[in-house]
Structure 1
Amino acid sequence: MRDGRKPGGISRRSVIGTIGGVGLATLAGCLDTAGDPDRGAGAEDASTGGPPTADRSLPEEYTTEELEDASLSGGPGQDGIPSIDEPQFTAADEPPTNLTDGDPVFGVELNGEAKAYPQHVLVWHEVVNDVVGDEPVAVTYCPLTGTAQGFCRGEVEFGVSGRLVNSNLVMYDRGTETWWPQMLARGIRGPHEGAYLDEFRVIWTTWERWRESYPETVVLTEETGHIRNYGDDPYGGYNPRTGYYDSANTLFSPLTTDDRFPAKAVVVGARNADGAVAVPKATLRERTVVEGTVNDVPYVTVHDEGLDTGYVYRNPGDETVEHDDGRFTVGGDEYEADELPLEREIAFDAMWFAWYGYYPSTEVHE
């Protein structure tokens, strides 16, 4: 049901000091996305000096005016949380000091180049302006919603606006200063209001899993040009889960609430012109193949055991997908989890409260 409340006035700055005590606390390459299942539907160069925008249709459950009205200060102002604009990397056999096998990383592979971005570094910066596979990109992370997403950026950089909507990071581009809520990938204020960014897949996994799947990967170091205590997550920790990440509470009221799952239960979500779908990650791990429909269109979500991630496929032909001994069978042929001969959608992990807050009409597949 709709909560009806405006997000509260508590700031992240104030909660960072108290979490422990209370438990709460793309240039041409990016424009050509044809045939890439982990990329958006294609984009057009922004004529106003901003990032490329995509020709796509996503569910819009709020007007831009409602979203802008729901925005609030997260504490630090614009660029108070500094993006990493000159990222430094090291080989997999020389990882950062504070990175251990079970720690979360956000993995990206584009045009044959693989990179890992440790959560314990991005929690202090939220945006990395980088080039992967010769494509200018922004790899982004919002600790309050548990979302890691990638965007093509063209000739501009993204920064942290200091605003939040639905507890979610609002980025801005330094070409036009348009506001872009991360999960929506949609402009809500500025010259690109109503436009969509071109996205690519970012995989939330662990350092050990990513390194084993991509042994030639490089990994972001702690040499960011900023002085931070990278051994201490201000919100808690994921290995093991503590603080904000382990708490039932959120810092701000969601746009809309639903109590079917714990607020911070992880779902694998995807959205397109059909609508939005969410699959509880715990269910996906248990069942491996989860099927359902979105506005009467069949979908199937499969679990990649190696990376502990999910892939969401649009399945209009209602093909039968079976799983046995780590392999998936479609039409009598075997495939890897990320290579099914279906229409793969861009999906990402998210905390349930954040996903439902933005997409209250979402179809839940269990």
Structure 2
Amino acid sequence: MLKRIILALGLSFAASSTLASPDFWQHEWPKTNFEKTSVSNWVEILSGGPPKDGIPALSDPKFRKASSETRINGAEPVITVEINGDVRAYPVRYLTWHEIANDTVGGVPVAVTFCPLCNSGITFDRRIPQGTLTFGVSGKLRNSDMVMYDRETESWWQQAIGEAIVGDLQGVKLTQLPTWMESWDEFRARRPDGLVMEQPDYGRQYGRNPYVSYDSSHKPFLYNGEMPPHGIPALVRVVRVGDSAWPLTRLAELGEVSEKGVNLSWTSGQASALDAPQISKGRNVGTVRVRDAEGKDLPHDVMFAFAFHAFWPNGNWMLGE
């Protein structure tokens, strides 16, 4: 499986390098203003394989009570969103195949996003000064990270940083919300009254991991940038808070770290979504919570080290030295 993915992505990389040009993309993106961009070299943007909307983003998904859900294994990861008393879990078994869920939680329009190639699960407020946006999957990657697009202006957005990089909205930033990834058991035990996203009505092998053994690879897919410093392996998970990153290996060893006004805690029990053929069988990578001194949850991301270095090349590596 992994070899087939590498071959397919390698062919995609070769094709993309040749066709990395707005002139080529314009027929697929007639509404996108390619004159406005922060991308200095178009070769940075590659095709991930699927075309525009080939990975179908979800909008207004259905939900059921957590207490009634029996298909999700207890160790499987979910992205938890809690806003104004509205508590919802978005299973990664679904987001692996859809990558974006446009929803409204507690009256707030949100986009719950997951980029498998960066292990990046971030929730954004879809409201900007120009209006409320709805996001789709462009099929493009930059530094191996998903490039989203908004259906209103067809501007392109970098998922890892929540910023428009191409189009009329170039330079606009989304507000990241303080959500987190945890195991289904953790969510269900803490909030049995919460809601969980219903299985989408698509012909997908939900629960299967199409990126078998990816997070134990030595090199990321479709990435030609620098490797992380300090000898940190490219696909080690790090917890990013702002422009600082704590290696997950350090947190797992210590259990809790308080630095720079941030408290990070780690508990065992969450399966990796990028390890075994079945997500439920993935190795234990644990759950991270990130809070401030008052105990309030903070926006953060648990991403691969190479992606942090790519988007925060001058970022702070919190190694405990």
Q: Per the shorter chain, which TM-score range?
A: 0.7 to 0.9
**TM-fit CA distance, 1:139:** 0.3
1:158 is aligned to: 135
Match of 1:255 among 225, 229, 243: 225
Letter in 1 for 2:241: A
1:211 is aligned to: 188
Q: How does 1:308-323 map to 2 (within 5 A)?
A: 308-311=287-290, 313=292
1:133 paired with 2:98, answer: no
**TM-fit CA distance, 1:267:** 0.6
Distance across 2 between alignment mates of 1:267 and 1:70: 23
**Gapped runs of 5+ residues in structure 2?**
7-36, 269-285
**Gapped runs of 5+ residues in structure 1?**
1-19, 26-62, 237-242, 293-297, 314-339
Distance across 1 between alignment mates of 2:309 and 2:291: 17
Q: How does 1:1-366 map to 2 (within 5 A)?
A: 20=1, 22=3, 25=6, 64-66=38-40, 68-95=42-69, 97=71, 99-154=72-127, 155-222=132-199, 224-236=200-212, 243-258=213-228, 260-271=231-242, 276-291=243-258, 298-303=260-265, 305=267, 308-311=287-290, 313=292, 340-341=293-294, 345-366=298-319
Alignment deviations for residues 100-145 of structure 1 (CA, whole Å, 9 cap, x no partner): 0011111111111111111111111000011111211110000000
Distance across 1 between alignment mates of 2:178 and 2:218: 28
Distance across 2 between alignment mates of 1:132 and 1:254: 37
Letter in 2 for 1:22: K
**TM-fit CA distance, 1:86:** 3.2
Give the TM-score of the pair, scaled to structure 2. Answer: 0.76
Q: 1:310 to 1:281 in 2, by over 3 A?
A: farther
Give the TM-score of the pair, scaled to structure 1. Answer: 0.68
**TM-fit CA distance, 1:342:** 8.1
Identical pairs, percent: 32
**TM-fit CA distance, 1:167:** 0.4
Q: Matched residue of 1:303: which SS?
A: strand
Regions of 4+ moved over 4 Å: 342-345
Alignment deviations for residues 49-85 of structure 1 (CA, whole Å, 9 cap, x no partner): xxxxxxxxxxxxxx81226541111111111100111
Distance across 2 between alignment mates of 1:300 and 1:21: 37
Q: 1:270 to 1:252 in 2, by over 3 A?
A: same
**TM-fit CA distance, 1:265:** 1.0
Alignment deviations for residues 201-243 of structure 1 (CA, whole Å, 9 cap, x no partner): 2211110112122222211121x2322111322112xxxxxx2
**TM-fit CA distance, 1:344:** 6.7
Letter in 2 for 1:199: Q
Q: 1:188 to 1:110 in 2, by over 3 A?
A: same
Letter in 1 for 2:306: F
Distance across 1 between alignment mates of 2:90 and 2:97: 12
**TM-fit CA distance, 1:312:** 5.7
Q: 1:21 to 1:344 in 2, by over 3 A?
A: closer
Q: Matched residue of 1:87: which SS?
A: coil
Contact 2:102 2:134 in 1 (8 A): yes
Contact 2:67 2:192 in 1 (8 A): no
Q: Matched residue of 2:166: which SS?
A: coil
